[in-house]
């Protein structure tokens, strides 16, 4: 089921059929360098899929698969999570793109599409981004999408910068 269509992307719910594509992101140590959960095994990828499906039912959101709208080629994942940080509970966006899909503007396009969904469908007032300061690529994405730096904090034992966009 498609959640968001952008000019170039189809963002949809993750299914069991996405396991092989997801490994291009979740099992890649370069892509997962700034992940607080690390590289995923095959078993963990299936657990990730199950968790995504549970989140859709519980919250109406979660991580979604990003595919090229024209070719149906896999690009990555983008979605929303709810987590507790030092300053309280936040709903935050994150994204991971396959190595061969980075640098093409897909992360910004997917982020803007998900923000539009969060505003119009979920009626959320704001979305946050939790980014390790060294992850300069992600900082550039959120800056291009209109987020503003709020504070430094910690999350799962990592030092992070918190960004926010009001919808």
Q: What is the CATH number of the domain that holds 70?
A: 3.40.630.30
Q: What φ, ψ does residue 139 adopt, rounded to 5°? A: -60, -40
Strand partners, 97: 76
Q: What φ, ψ does residue 80 adopt, rounded to 5°? A: -120, 145
pTM: 0.95
Q: By residue range, what is the domain housing residue 137? A: 2-166
pLDDT digits (tens, 9 = 90+) for 107-121: 999 999 999 999 999
Give the count of domains, the chain.
1
DSSP string, 85-151: ETTEEEEEEEEEE-GGGTTSSHHHHHHHHHHHHHHHTS--SEEEEEE-TT-HHHHHHHHHHT-EEEE
> Which has more confidence, 95 or 158?
95
User: Residue 19: which pLDDT band, with cuts at 50, 70 and 90?
Assistant: very high
């Amino acid at each position: 089921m498609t959640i968001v269509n952008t000019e170039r992307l189809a963002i949809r719910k993750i299914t069991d059929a996405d396991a092989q594509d997801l490994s291009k992101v979740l099992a890649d140590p370069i892509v997962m360098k700034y992940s607080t959960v690390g590289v995923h095994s095959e078993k963990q990828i299936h657990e990730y899929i199950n968790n995504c499906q549970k989140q859709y039912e519980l919250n109406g959101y979660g991580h979604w698969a990003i595919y090229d709208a024209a070719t149906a080629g896999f690009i990555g994942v983008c979605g929303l999570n709810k987590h507790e940080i030092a300053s309280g509970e936040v709903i935050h966006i994150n994204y991971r793109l396959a190595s061969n899909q980075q640098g093409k503007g897909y992360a910004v396009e997917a982020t803007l599409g998900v923000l539009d969904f969060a505003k119009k469908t979920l009626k959320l007032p704001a979305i946050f981004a939790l980014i390790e300061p060294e992850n300069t690529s992600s900082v550039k994405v959120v800056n291009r999408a209109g987020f503003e730096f709020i504070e430094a904090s910690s999350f799962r034992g990592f030092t992070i910068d918190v960004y926010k966009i009001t919808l």
